[in-house]
Amino acid sequence: MERIIDYTTRGTCARSIRIVLEDERIKEVTFLGGCSGNTQGVAALVAGMPVKEAISRLKGIKCGPKSTSCPDQLATALTQALENR
């Protein structure tokens, strides 16, 4: 079953993330704002990946001096999606 999650980011240049999940896999990710090449790259790399694997790979990544990053925010959104299924 397909599920769409809209997540408002905190502490990043990207303002929000739209995630399309199909069962326990990431079907598609779209970042609104942020560094276009980087966010497109992250989205392409996680497409088709199991949700738990993406979380384990992305959680804790920082962007320069910031305490978070777009990949880390994606991991946070995915974690919340698992908790709220």
DSSP structure class, residue 48: T
Query: For residue 28, what are its two tokens?
Result: 């598609």
Query: For residue 32, what are its two tokens?
Result: 């609104």
Handedness of CA 27, 58, 80, 30 (dihedral sign): negative
pLDDT in tens, 26-50: 999 999 999 999 999 999 999 999 9
CATH code of 2-83, in short, is 3.30.390
This model's pTM is above 0.85: yes
Statement: residue 64 has pLDDT above 90: yes
Average pLDDT score, the chain: 97
Assign 82 a pLDDT band (cuts: 50, 70, 90).
very high
Query: In the chain, what are the domain boundaries?
Result: 2-83
- Residue linked to tokens 């079953």: 1
- Residue linked to tokens 């777009």: 70
Paired with 14 in beta bridges are 33
